[in-house]
């Protein structure tokens, strides 16, 4: 967690907008919750058991159905195609999350710099360090963008060794066929009597709906964790705890002696103000 206590600085400053004084980790936690909510809201549970989804799935199945296979057989590539469609907007959600984390981190570091370095007394030093900060975060954001692209590409492979998938499938089937159980609202349209009256093809269609729904639940949890963990590692932990300190020191050391003096010297009008105050004090003393 990063938290900087408010420092008392003698020089007068322009009134700044009210800052969020929560720790960075608290603000990032809120962004993580928002990101998970955004992933969840891409497709509600109800959508997977809606007439719209069933009709779309039925069209995919019928267009690829052949004469081979057991009654009600669904081609293995159909769920993969459907999952690809479900993921179509996922990169935009990641991009928005990445940009929001980037802004929070940059704002935290820049505010910290301004707390410790008086902009009136050392404007050149502050400007240089802010540019160093911007360069470091810009580079790390590019690295993270590539990481996120890899994670999104991983999900093109439909695979998991996690038992959560089949556990979810079996749980939904038990819920549907247990007439005394409390069904979630998205399963209210399914009951044993209705399912038994359907054809082989339509019953298999419901099985496929359940399996796609179960895999989507597993995938979005895994995906959200991977995105959040990679974001913290690349855009928060590494730049703030490792790269920035080295980058800032390096930026100063690359300057020659004359430039270093300029960086740490007060601005001209500040020097003149101090000189006038000193002369005034001397006159009073005399």
Number of structural domains in the chain: 1
Residue 95, domain member (yes or no):
yes
Identify the pLDDT of residue 255: 62
Identify the pLDDT of residue 275: 47
Residue 110, domain member (yes or no):
yes
Residue 155, domain member (yes or no):
yes
Identify the pLDDT of residue 138: 94
Residue 77, domain member (yes or no):
yes
Distance CA 81, CA 78 (A): 5
Distance CA 273, CA 278 (A): 9
Residue 160, domain member (yes or no):
yes
Residue 123, domain member (yes or no):
yes
Distance CA 46, CA 28 (A): 30
Identify the pLDDT of residue 8: 40
Contact predicate 176/195, CB 8 Å: yes
Residue 109, domain member (yes or no):
yes
Domain that holds residue 176: 24-63+73-254
5, 133, 140, 172, 211 from 111: Cα distances, Å: 11, 11, 19, 50, 49
Q: Please choose, from the candidates 202, 148, 198, the residue with its C-alpha nearest in 3D space to the C-alpha of residue 35.
A: 148
Residue 277, domain member (yes or no):
no
Residue segments in the chain with a per-residue pLDDT below the cut of 50? 2-13, 270-271, 274-275, 278-286
pLDDT per residue as tens digits for the range 208-254 = 999 999 999 999 999 999 999 999 999 998 888 877 777 666 666 56
């Amino acid at each position: 967690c990063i938290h900087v206590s408010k420092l008392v600085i003698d020089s007068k400053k322009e009134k700044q907008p009210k800052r969020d004084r929560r720790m960075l980790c608290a603000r990032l936690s809120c962004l993580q919750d928002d990101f998970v909510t955004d992933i969840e809201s891409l497709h509600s549970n109800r959508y997977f058991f809606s007439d719209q989804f069933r009709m779309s799935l039925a069209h995919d199945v019928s267009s690829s159905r052949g004469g081979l296979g057991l009654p009600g057989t669904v081609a293995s590539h159909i769920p993969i195609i459907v999952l690809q469609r479900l993921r179509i907007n996922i990169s935009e959600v990641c991009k928005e999350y990445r940009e929001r984390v980037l802004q929070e981190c940059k704002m935290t570091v820049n505010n910290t710099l301004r707390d410790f370095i008086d902009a009136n007394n050392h404007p050149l030093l502050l400007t240089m360090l802010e540019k160093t900060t911007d360069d470091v975060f810009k580079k790390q954001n590019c690295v993270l963008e590539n990481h996120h692209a890899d994670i999104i590409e991983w999900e093109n492979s439909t695979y998991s060794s996690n038992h959560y998938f089949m556990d979810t499938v079996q749980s939904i089937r038990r819920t549907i066929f247990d007439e005394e159980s409390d069904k979630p609202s998205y399963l209210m349209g399914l009951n044993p009597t209705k399912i038994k009256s359907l054809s082989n093809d339509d019953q298999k269609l419901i099985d496929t709906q359940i399996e796609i729904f179960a895999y989507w639940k597993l995938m979005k949890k895994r995906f959200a964790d991977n995105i959040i963990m990679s974001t913290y590692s690349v855009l928060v932990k590494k730049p703030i705890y490792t790269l920035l300190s080295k980058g800032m020191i390096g930026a100063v050391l690359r300057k020659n002696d004359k430039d270093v003096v300029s960086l740490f010297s007060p601005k001209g009008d500040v020097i003149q103000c101090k000189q006038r105050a000193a002369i005034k004090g001397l006159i009073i003393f005399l």
